[in-house]
Amino acid sequence: MSTLPFPHSTKVIAIDGPSASGKGTIAARIASILNRDYLDSGALYRLTALFAQQRQIDWTNEEQIAQLAAALPVIFIEGKILLNDLDVTHIIRSEEVGMNASKIAVYPLVRAALLQRQRGFLTARGLVADGRDMASVVFPSAELKIFLTASAQIRAERRALQLGISVNSDEFKQILADIEKRDTADRTRLVAPLQPVADAHILDTSSLNIEESVQKILDWYQIIEK
């Protein structure tokens, strides 16, 4: 897989971070404020996993899954995601699809198949891209690199709040266990593991809300713009 600097990547803000770190909401908001396009790279891994599941491909069949990734019949339109003309916007957000996405994300052939597709999102408008390896692999010469962190407990609590689940329930314990499991998978895989690059700004959002996190990143952005 190529990790050479991508020639047109300067107008990219790369936001990497673990599951449920709020990076999607934060990245989309920054893209809107700066009038840039937004890439949710995790959606491509989720779509690949869903497509493989629909086609009943064996999870160990790296080559076939990579072929599906290279030819994903996906359309992003008006906030919706269509796979083979079917609206999968909500289905791909399920925990099951997330886990399967994490499973296929370890395959180098799958990552290579999705690399150009991700870079293809960059146009003259500029891009805000979120994922696990935006700064390390996909856009290594991004003008601003952010690495979000927050403890698994805090991220689980945020997710439980969204779902209206009590933190004393068994369901909460399951959410926390799922987040920890996916963290381990994403951080310890051999290819493009989730880890900050040397020139990333680390942003611990444990005690910040979305607005404060967005503001902090915009402050950094203004410094590099000067």
Q: Is 39 in the site for ligand DC (CB under 6 A)?
A: no
User: Would you say 102 or 213 has its CB closer to ligand DC?
Assistant: 102
Q: Which of 105, 122, 200, 203 binds ligand DC (CB under 6 A)?
A: 105
Instruction: Give the separation between CA 168 and CA 177, rounded to whole angstroms.
Output: 14
Instruction: Give the separation between CA 105 and CA 182, rounded to whole angstroms.
Output: 11
User: Would you say 45 or 147 has its CB closer to ligand DC?
Assistant: 45
Site string for ligand DC, 56-95 (x = CB under 6 A): ----------------------------------------
Q: Is 21 in the site for ligand DC (CB under 6 A)?
A: no
Tell me the window of 30-38, 80-88, 98-106, 170-178 that interacts with ligand DC (CB under 6 A).
Answer: 98-106
Q: Is 42 in the site for ligand DC (CB under 6 A)?
A: yes
Neighbouring CB atoms inside 10 A of 40's CB total 20
User: Would you say 125 or 187 has its CB closer to ligand DC?
Assistant: 187
Q: What is Dmax (Cα atoms) for the chain?
A: 52
Q: Dig out the tokens for 205 from the structure.
A: 């959002």
Judged on CB neighbours under 10 Å (0-12, 13-18, 19+), 192 is buried
What strands lie across the sheet with 127-131, from one edge to the other? Answer: 37-40, 127-131, 12-16, 144-149, 201-204
| Cα–Cα separations (whole angstroms), residue 48 to 73, 106, 133, 188 | 10, 13, 17, 21
Q: Is 155 in the site for ligand DC (CB under 6 A)?
A: no
Q: Is 213 in the site for ligand DC (CB under 6 A)?
A: no
Q: Which of 9, 12, 15, 19 binds ligand DC (CB under 6 A)?
A: 19
Please give the residue ranges that form the binding site for ligand DC (CB under 6 A): 19, 41-42, 45-46, 98, 101-102, 105, 131-133, 182, 186
